[in-house]
Amino acid sequence: MGGRWQESTSTDRIGVVDPATEQVIGRVPAGTAADIDAAVSAARAALPGWSATEPARRGAVLAAARDLLAARRKEIAATVSAELGAPPAFASAVHVALPTAVLGSFAEIAAEFAFVEKVGNSTVYQEPVGVVGAITPWNYPLHQIVAKVAPALAAGCTVVLKPAENTPLVAQQFAEILDEAGLPAGVFNLVTGLGPVAGQALAEHPDVDLVSFTGSTDVGRRIGAGAGAAVKRVALELGGKSANVVLPGADLAKAVNVGIANVFANSGQTCSAWTRILVDDARYDEAVGIAVEAAAKYRPGDRLGPLISGRQRDRVRGYINRGVEQGARIVAGGPEAPDGMTTGYYVRPTVLADVTPEMTVAQEEIFGPVVVLIRYQDEDDALRIANGTVYGLAGAVWGADEESAVAFARRMDTGQVDINGGRFNPRAPFGGYKQSGVGRELGTHGLAEYLQTKSLQF
């Protein structure tokens, strides 16, 4: 913090475990409330200078960080593989390439965004909100950091980051990159630690102007309540139970195969994963067969990495068992340990058929490699099922033509929908409806979260 590494006020350390080997691969400080206080003070002191820095200069620092991240791609990917368990190819192609693209997008946005505009006899200024407390999860450890830190820095804010205790090593590498890119001391500050200690201290700190949190809906609800009581800005990116809707006439094989890949790519540990596949009754059995064949391509330890912890593994297996108890049929995978794998927090890639909308596995976020298939009778029934959860983060629609797919997507209560396999866009806003969160990340909408508006009248 404050531009240099400092010892924690606590001598306690957190062991970082490789979920594939169950071995400790590193230890980081268990930061305290006092450490958070020092980091917030450093951020507050650095705020006047950074907020007054020209946006183009702020963008140049982000561009330099993008280039440094790209240059260290192999090293960063190895770190993510070790602390998250992501297969090496996926770690490189997604866990590093994605935040690199996002950094680049905010470098461009900082230089081109209209921070000042004329509105009649007024001049309207978009100014940084101040000190940002960023609390990030473990499932996309670098991307989630960049999705908060890059727009905050582009806006002219200073930041205190508390990364997930499971995956703090890549956060330390990112801190080194920002320093090497020329970010002034105190503008970015990193405190590793436990959520109930360092995370809570950051969320509740009176000198933090905005809290940006990604994680569970339960924790987000508590952070939002605390921010409301303090009349403090908050951005929350929470859970999801996204629907992958295959309309009659759509390419069924492509929709199901892409849908399975979407969920299993990060071992199901993706808040926006399309974990519910909705298929019309006439083609439902065919879809089940396609899903079974697709799931067979994901072998644990190869294309399918472990879950983050033994606790998460047991939680996911519990959901599979609950699905069976409520009437679901296992057509691929299951709750048993993968054959021959006695080490590592692995779960079989699982497909549950004959799932009905009210089942627990169709309502709650499982966060593991589990896909459920649900049949529907007509499009109105499909829409009712798709919208029938407390979440609304993402989704997919496949149609015989783009027009019909878009018409259905417009009626979905969700923040982002991919049409016929639409590609990721780092400038498109990401965030949810309902209990999936408050606010947006990425692009100009993501930048706006870190700005406040002032108007001068003449």
Return d(Cα 321, Cα 333) in angstroms, integer: 12
Positions marked catalytic: 237, 271
DSSP 299-356: -BTTTB---S-HHHHHHHHHHHHHHHHTT-EEEE--SSPPTT--SS-----EEEES--
Q: Does pTM surpass 0.75? A: yes
Q: Is residue 4 part of a domain?
A: no
225: exposed, middle or buried (C-beta count within 10 Å: 0-12, 13-18, 19+)? Answer: exposed
Q: What is the pLDDT of residue 1?
A: 73
Does residue 234 sit in the same domain as residue 252?
Answer: no
Does residue 38 sit in the same domain as residue 130?
Answer: yes
Q: Is residue 8 part of a domain?
A: no
Q: Is residue 95 part of a domain?
A: yes
Express each pLDDT in 56-109 by its tens digit. Answer: 999 999 999 999 999 999 999 999 999 999 999 999 999 999 999 999 999 999
Q: Domain residues for 315?
A: 243-425
Does residue 69 sit in the same domain as residue 147?
Answer: yes
DSSP class of 132:
E
Q: Is residue 2 part of a domain?
A: no
Does residue 92 sit in the same domain as residue 47?
Answer: yes
Does residue 31 sit in the same domain as residue 103?
Answer: yes
Q: Is residue 86 part of a domain?
A: yes
| Residue in the structure block whose two tokens are 């190819």 | 89
Does residue 211 sit in the same domain as residue 110?
Answer: yes
CATH number at residue 201: 3.40.605.10
Secondary structure (3-state) at 18: strand
Average confidence score pLDDT of the chain: 97
Return d(Cα 229, Cα 329) in angstroms, integer: 46
Does residue 401 sit in the same domain as residue 331?
Answer: yes
CATH number at residue 248: 3.40.309.10
CA distances from 234 to 152, 229, 240 (A): 13, 11, 19
Residue 317 · residue 352 · CB < 8 Å? no
Does residue 100 sit in the same domain as residue 58?
Answer: yes
Return d(Cα 315, Cα 304) in angstroms, integer: 18
Q: Is residue 3 part of a domain?
A: no
What is the domain count for the chain? 2
Does residue 222 sit in the same domain as residue 252?
Answer: no
Does residue 363 sit in the same domain as residue 342?
Answer: yes
Mean pLDDT of 188-207: 96
Return d(Cα 189, Cα 44) in angstroms, integer: 11
Does residue 210 sit in the same domain as residue 323?
Answer: no
Express each pLDDT in 366-404 by its tens digit. Answer: 999 999 999 999 999 999 999 999 999 999 999 999 999
Q: What is the pLDDT of residue 278?
A: 98
Q: Is residue 430 part of a domain?
A: no
